[in-house]
Structure 1
């Protein structure tokens, strides 16, 4: 019989290496290549659910109520390819604690899209857009209720769109 301690150590080393490889491949890989993002190719979220019924909520309109929030966006330089996105609102409170909960008028979060590709949610008015590839990019921001439905005024989504060019 072989030395059981040597077999245990060999198994642990092999398992650790394989685990690190799988983690690096699955977690560290971006959902979309920068080349695809710069070409404006969008990832379609309607084909699958991200655990929250996201595809369903992305198309739901929720009347914002009175006074309705307003939204504007500003882009500020932050390095050669990075930019800071300032989400300027009135009558709106970023509510990270309320996400996935009951809707409260004037509360929620923002959804940020770069070239149609949804980015992580914004729970505050400032978001860093890190290492954008060279070219022109459309930045779109929507205000969303706690259940992720689009806040709207008279059926029109509350959103703002701008472009940024990275040279």
Structure 2
């Protein structure tokens, strides 16, 4: 019983090492996970994030102020759009939904109102999204705001 267990451990050790070397050779890294490029795993969120819905007149801008205990407070100013937290995950209703907040390409979460706190600076992107999570566009252009925070 001791020898098979030893062989298993040796195989796991070298197999893991070879896997890491192979992944590194292919340029694969364990960076942050960006949810903006694929569907969620559960059926309730099967809508692809690449899908969009056009809402003419929808706008968003973002202002940031440093927080006294670290990070930044973001204030979203929207036009032609209303936050609808109770309808998140439901059917699309023109001009309502929520926002997605990203820092350096990594989704921090959803925003159901016009204020949020982020713990760090970087390249901030805020998108407006329909209740069913599709990204909003206005006249074919993404309804999003971007800014860089040191």
Task: Normalising by structure 1, report the TM-score.
Answer: 0.64
- Structure 2 stretches of 5 or more lacking a match? 1-30
- After superposition, where does 1:133-144 map in structure 2 within 5 Å? 137-144=122-129
Offset of 1:87 from its aligned partner? Answer: 0.8
- Pick closer, same or farther for the CA change 1:53–1:82 going to 2, 3 Å: same
Task: Measure, in 1, the Cα distance between the counterparts of 2:40 and 2:69.
Answer: 35
Equivalent residues of 1:42, 1:115 under 8 A apart: no
- Pick closer, same or farther for the CA change 1:83–1:91 going to 2, 3 Å: same
Aligned to 2:113: 124
Q: Which has the higher strand share?
A: 2
How many aligned positions are there? 118
Q: CA RMSD in A?
A: 1.9
Aligned to 2:24: none
- Structure 1: 4+ residue segments shifted above 2 A: 44-54
- After superposition, where does 1:1-167 map in structure 2 within 5 Å? 41-45=31-35, 46=37, 49-51=40-42, 52-53=44-45, 56-65=47-56, 68-79=57-68, 81-130=70-119, 132=120, 137-165=122-150
Task: Normalising by structure 2, report the TM-score.
Answer: 0.71
Equivalent residues of 1:57, 1:147 under 8 A apart: no
Aligned to 1:8: none
- Structure 1 stretches of 5 or more lacking a match? 1-40
